[in-house]
Amino acid sequence: MALEYIGSFQIVLGVIARFWPVWIALAVVLGASFVYKKQLGLYGQLFDTGVGIAGVAICTFWLFTAIFASTISPFDPLGQIAVMKDAMPGAIEPASQHVYLFGGDKLARDVFSRMVYGSQIVLIIAPAATAFALMVGITLGLPAGYYGGRIDSILSFLANLVLAFPVILLFYLLVTPGIMETPIPYALAGLFFLFPIIFFVTLFWTRFKERPDRLYLLLGLTIVIGGWVYIGLVFDADPLGIVSIKPNQLNIFIAVVFASSPGVFRIVRGLVMDIKTRDYVAAAQTRGESPWYIMLWEILPNARGPLIVDACLRIGYTTILLGTLGYFGLGLAPESPDWGTAIKDASRLLRSFIHPALPPTIALMSFVLGLNLLADALREQSMKD
């Protein structure tokens, strides 16, 4: 059956039109941010520079793309329509009359829909894994920098041991299919996923130990919510069936946390060693505050600027690593619409105009660019503060 096609100008208009919910959400969020930027603290200050505006706009674009993926995509990202195999950009699918805007891949799947749904995988795994890495690095970096001595020596040795291992090789070892059959990923998950619970329990205890009414409420919520997430992620035993993670995604998650935590640890350790010499820390020590109170409520808030910048950069690094792993067929399932897998699937095809590897490549590049711009703007603002 001969396929019908639309022109290149119609393809561009069609792509723009498919993103209509994203444009509306962007207009609302960015417009409100401009109007109320003076009341929005650090986030509002980002709109004082072109770099900050560009970074926020690109990142929120992909955030809303992930949220509205089912509305934007004209086809199921895993759906195969035989007649559309290796279809050129602009091909009209005969049954639905919808357009394969960026063409079809070798398995007759819509490249545009796979690119859109790929944003969901990136927006879930990269920020969440980075957040857990921050929890681990902060929880270990605070005592290492504050106490020094033997604690610092032991923790720094462990961090340097991990950092000395080649990152790509480390990821390869942690996400190969054979490792999934061993208890190693779940043992590491059981260890790493404890850190957020430990962090928030310690945070609330040091702050509200003299106010038991609020303390017990916050500790109860932390233990209940943290335990619920913990059993869902580690044991896949969430009674409500809401919190769960696939084994291959768990491997990538653990690999990111394991490889990123030592870097966060070293940053936090260095910041604490500098900040603990400040006068307000000495004042807290004079008042008789506990070491963990000083670390969490005096030192950590004053280290937030560099940590926020580092978090943005790490999400970008994680996105690139996810793309690299997907390209080499590691970690995620082969049919996954993640950007790395999409680039791999299309890399062997020869096609003019819009190559099927181009959309996911541009998507990955633009998201990382947005994060880097956001980090640059945040760095400028933290230096002013």
96-105 pLDDT per residue, tens: 888 988 888 8
Give the pLDDT of residue 168: 75
- pLDDT: is 324 or 230 the higher one? 230
Distances (CA, A) of 112 to 109, 118, 357: 9, 10, 11
pLDDT at 241: 76
| pTM, to two decimals | 0.88
Contacts of 167 (CB under 8 A, 6+ apart): 259, 321
Nearest-angstrom CA–CA distance, 326 and 340:
4
Q: Looking at residue 245, what is its pLDDT? A: 78
Which residues, including other chains, have CB under 8 Å from residue 74's CB and lie 6 or more apart? 18, 96, 98, 99, 101, 110, 112, 113
Q: pLDDT tens digits for 158-207?
A: 999 988 888 777 777 777 766 666 777 788 888 999 999 999 999 999 99
Residue 352 has pLDDT above 70, yes or no: no
pLDDT at 315: 92
- Spatial contact of 145 and 152, defined as CB atoms under 8 Å apart: yes
Q: What is the mean pLDDT of the chain?
A: 87
How far apart CA 380 and CA 366 sit, in angstroms, is 21
Short-list 150, 89, 156, 127, CA closest to 352: 89
Q: Is the pLDDT assigned to residue 37 strictly greater than 90? A: no
What is d(CA 267, CA 163) in angstroms, rounded to the nearest whole number? 13
Write down the pLDDT at residue 59.
94
pLDDT higher than threshold 80 for residue 351: no
Of 341, 345, 382, the residue nearest 122 (C-alpha): 341
pLDDT over 70 at 349, yes or no: no
Tell me what pLDDT residue 350 has: 54
Burial annotation 51-75 (CB, 10 A radius, 16+ → b, else e): bbbbbbebbbbbbbbbbbbeebbbb
CA distances from 143 to 150, 197, 208, 269, 291 (A): 11, 17, 20, 8, 9
Distance between CA atoms of residues 155 and 90, nearest Å: 56
pLDDT value of residue 97: 86
3-class DSSP state of 242: coil
Question: What integer pLDDT is reported at residue 42 of this predicted model?
Answer: 82
Phi–psi pair at 237, nearest 5 degrees: -125, 30
* C-alpha distances out from residue 38 to 77, 125, 360, 370, 375, Å: 41, 32, 36, 23, 20
pLDDT, average across residues 220-234: 90
Type of residue found at 315: I
Q: Which residues contact 221 (CB under 8 A, 6 or more apart)?
A: none
- Give the residues across from 110 on adjacent strands: 104
Identify the CA nearest to 104 among candidates 74, 65, 62.
Answer: 74
Q: Please report, for residues 67, 114, 189, 233, the alpha-carbon distance to residue 243 in angstroms, rounded to integers and kept in the order given.
A: 18, 24, 14, 7
Mean per-residue pLDDT, 292-301: 93
Report CA torsion sign: 51, 54, 57, 59: negative
Average pLDDT over residues 268-280: 93
Cα 108 to Cα 93, 117, 152, 356, 358: the distances in Å are: 11, 16, 55, 12, 17
Q: Which residue has the higher pLDDT, 119 or 248?
A: 119
Q: Which two tokens stand for residue 107?
A: 């398995």
Is the separation of the CB atoms in 252 and 331 below 8 Å? yes
Supply the pLDDT for residue 353.
Answer: 53
